[in-house]
Structure 1
Amino acid sequence: MNFWKFLNLLETSSLYFSNAENLGDNNEGRIPEVVYQMMIEQDNENGNTNNQDTYEYIENNLRKETLISSWTYHDDESYALWKMYAKDKMGIAIKTDIPSLRESFNETDRLIYIGEVKYFDPKSFHYSTTNLYYPFLVKLKYYSFENELRCITSCTQDELKENKLVKVDLNKLIKEVYISPNSKPEFKKLIELLSQTYNVNFKVNFSKVNDKWL
C-alpha cells in the first residue's frame, strides 16, 4: 500500500474492505461464461431457472454487497506487487500470519471469512455454484502471480452497499513492516515514530527487492 493508506490504517485501527465491483477486474465475482452456459444447459434439462436465478442474484446483488480485503501468501516479497501498489518510494507492505490475521478481527462484530483464491483455467477446471462466496475466491489464471488470500464480509441489510472500514487489533495484525527498497533512512525513522505514536509494536525493514523502478 502507499504511505497514506498505511497512515489511515494506524489512525482508524481499521482495514479497508472494497466493494467487489470496485476492485478493478471486470470479471470480479462473476461466474465465467463457459460455466454459465453449462448452468443454463442444466436448467433446460431440469425444466427450471435455478442456476440462472443464482447467476442473476450474484451479478445484480451479491457483487454490490460483498466486501473484500486482499493479501498475498507469497513466502517472499513480490517485485510485481511492489511495482503495482507501492512504487512511489513511500510504499509499505505489512507482514502477518493466518492466526494473527484471524485474531485481529476480534475487534469487530462482522463475520469475516478467510479463503485462498483459486485460479481458473477454462480448459481444465472445477467450479462450484453451491457456495455463494465461491465466485469471489476464483480469478482467471493470469492473476496467479498474486498468490492471493482474501478476507471477505458482507454488507448488512440496513447498510449502504459500499466500501467499509473494519475494526482490527493492529498489535495482533502487524508482525513486521517492509518499506520500499529505495526509501530514504528518514522514511524508516518516520514509520518507527508512527509505531510509537500509535502504540503499535512492529519491526521496520527495508524491502530486499532492490530495483530502481521502485
Structure 2
Amino acid sequence: MDFWKFLNLLETKSLFFSNSDNLGDNNEGRIPHFILERMIEQDNERGNRNNQDLNDYLESTLRKNHLISSWSYAERESFAMWKMYAKDKTGIAIETDLKLLQESFNKTDRIVYIGEVNYINEDNYHFSTSNMFYPFVTKLDFYRFENEIRCVTITKDDEEPESKLVEIDLSTLIKKVHISPNSKPEFRKLIELLKKEYQLEFEICYSKVSDSWL
C-alpha cells in the first residue's frame, strides 16, 4: 500500500473495506460471462427466470452490500504487487498470517468471512450458484499472480453500501512491515517513529525486491 494508506490504518485502527464497484476489475462480484450464458440458456430451456433473477439480485444488491478487504497469501514478495500497489519509494507491505488476521478482528462485532480466491477460466472452473459468496471469491485467472485471500463483511440495513472502516487490533495484525526496496534511510526512521508513537511491536525490514522500476 502507499504510505498514506498505512498512516490512515494506524490513525483509524481500522481496515478499509470496499464494495465490488470500487475494486477496479469490472468482473468483481459478478458471475463470469461464460457461466452466466449457460445459466440463461438453462432458463430458456426450463421456461423460467431463476438464474436471471439470481443474477439481477446479485447486481442490484449483493455487489453493493458485500464489502471486501484484499490480501495476498503468497509466501514470497511479488515485484508486480509492489509495482501496482505501492507506486513510489514510500510503499509499505504488511505481513501477517491467517491466525493473526482472524484474531485481529476481535475488536469488532461485525461478522467477517475469510476465504481464498478461486481463479478460473473458460476451460477450467467450478462455480456454485447455491453459495452467493462465490462471486466475491472468484476471479478470472488473469489475476492469479495476486494469490489473493479476502476478508468479506456485509453492510447492515442502516449503513451506506459502498465502503466501511472495520475496527482492527493492530498489535495483533501487524507481524512485520516491509518498506519499499528503494526507499531512503529517512523513511525507515519515520516508520520507527510511528511504531513508537502508536505503541506497536513489529519488525521493520526492507523489501528483497531489487529493481530500479520500483
Secondary structure, in 3 states, of the residue corresponding to 1:29? coil
For residues 102-139 of structure 1, give each alpha carbon's deviation from its aligned partner in whole angstroms, at most 9, with x where no partner exists: 00001111110001001111122211111111001011
Alignment of 1:81 with 2:86, yes or no, is no
Code of the residue aligned with 1:32 in structure 2: it is: P
Can you give the 5+ residue segments of structure 1 that lack an aligned partner in the other structure?
Answer: none
Which residue is equivalent to 1:43? 43
Which residue is equivalent to 2:163? 163
Code of the residue aligned with 1:81 in structure 2: it is: M
Alignment of 1:212 with 2:212, yes or no, is yes
Please show how residues 25-104 of structure 1 align to structure 2 within 5 Å.
Answer: 25-104=25-104
Secondary structure, in 3 states, of the residue corresponding to 1:199? coil
Please show how residues 53-202 of structure 1 align to structure 2 within 5 Å.
Answer: 53-202=53-202
Identical-residue share of aligned pairs (%): 63
Secondary structure, in 3 states, of the residue corresponding to 2:162? coil
Per-residue deviation, 1:47: 3.3
The worse-fitting range, judged by mean Cα deviation, of 35-44 and 174-183 is 35-44
Per-residue deviation, 1:60: 1.3
Cα distance in structure 2, aligned partners of 1:43 and 1:137: 25
Cα distance in structure 1, aligned partners of 2:42 and 2:105: 40
Secondary structure, in 3 states, of the residue corresponding to 2:177? strand
Per-residue deviation, 1:44: 3.0
The worse-fitting range, judged by mean Cα deviation, of 43-52 and 15-24 is 43-52
Code of the residue aligned with 2:67 in structure 1: it is: L
Per-residue deviation, 1:9: 0.3
Q: Does the 8 A contact of 1:176 with 1:203 survive in 2? A: yes
Code of the residue aligned with 1:41 in structure 2: it is: E
CA RMSD, 1 decimal: 0.9
Q: Does the 8 A contact of 1:87 with 1:180 survive in 2? A: no
Per-residue deviation, 1:42: 2.4
The normalised TM-score by structure 2 is: 0.97
Cα distance in structure 2, aligned partners of 1:12 and 1:125: 39
Per-residue deviation, 1:162: 1.4
Cα distance in structure 2, aligned partners of 1:201 and 1:17: 24
Can you give the 5+ residue segments of structure 2 that lack an aligned partner in the other structure?
Answer: none
Secondary structure, in 3 states, of the residue corresponding to 1:196? helix
Cα distance in structure 2, aligned partners of 1:123 and 1:160: 38
